[in-house]
Amino acid sequence: MLIISLARTLKAYWRRRIINRHPIPLAHWEAAVACLPLLQGLSLAELSHLRDLSTLFLHHKSIYGAQGFKVNEKMRLVVAIQASLLILCLDWDDYRHWRTVLLYPGAFVAKREERDESGIVHAVQHPLIGESWDRGPVILSWDDVAHTMAPSESPSNVVIHEFAHLLDMGNGAANGMPPLHRTMNRRTWTSVFFQAYKNLNERWAAGEPIPLDSYALESPAEFFAVASEVFFVSPQKLQTALPQIYHQLQLYYRQDPASRTLLF
């Protein structure tokens, strides 16, 4: 226990040293925060902690452009802030297993091999706006990241989506169940998400409207990522439409964004 306590103390010391030695310039920070609507309602204490986490993110992670795409400091900061929002009340170590974020100017093409019903493998191409791997990189379309910087009725957020996948992979695979806290009930999480996933699939198949983007129905992993987007971007919508899902995400992320937005 003494060794563990000492390791935590040293880790906290080095993180604080990085934060103090490499602060995000205040003008840059305020400009970035002002252009991100999903940060509305954060308290001064939360914003201060988010700034610390974003500083660590920029120090430890490389964010660069693909195919000669030029990435500036504001772009890096916008990505870092939104990625850090997910772990505002979690642990920085949840992001420890990877180091790189790759930005494309727009949608990019992912090449895959898929096997058809006859067993024949085909080379296929899929246009994507985001992609994440458990050891990195996280790949994002800047066009779609930029959309998060303007008010919108859409609850989509590619940064939240892809970094939710990374957290989900904390158990080794993206399956819709990130490593839950000891205070959470695994059976309750499984039951709540399974029932919601089943119900929305049935409603969609019947031609009824559903409160999440239909991409959530692709898999339990996509359901978790899409629900996380709405949790942070349009929390009151999720709380009203899927209150049990909202509550489980509130317990997991240890945040209550719906109560923040009520202030505005």
Q: What is the pLDDT of residue 121?
A: 44
What's the CA angle centered on 95, arms 90 and 96, to 5 degrees?
A: 120
Strand order of the β-sheet with 138-141 is 62-65, 100-104, 138-141, 130-132
Q: What is the pLDDT of residue 164?
A: 97
Q: What is the pLDDT of residue 96?
A: 87
Burial state string for 181-194 with b = 16 or more CB within 10 A and e = fewer than 16 = eeeeeeeebeebbe
Nearest to 174 by CA among 207, 206, 220: 220
What residues of the chain score a pLDDT lower than 70?
Answer: 1-7, 10, 13, 111-126, 261-264
Q: What is the pLDDT of residue 11?
A: 74
Q: What is the pLDDT of residue 125?
A: 53
Q: What is the pLDDT of residue 187?
A: 98
Q: What is the mean pLDDT of the chain?
A: 89
Contact at 8 Å (CB) between 109 and 102? no
Residues 189-199 have pLDDT tens digits of: 999 999 999 99
User: 164 is written with which tokens?
Assistant: 């939710």
Contact at 8 Å (CB) between 204 and 217? yes
| Residue 45 CB neighbours (<10 A) | 8
Domains in the chain, please, with CATH?
1-149 (1.10.472.150), 175-264 (3.40.390.10)
Q: What is the pLDDT of residue 122?
A: 38
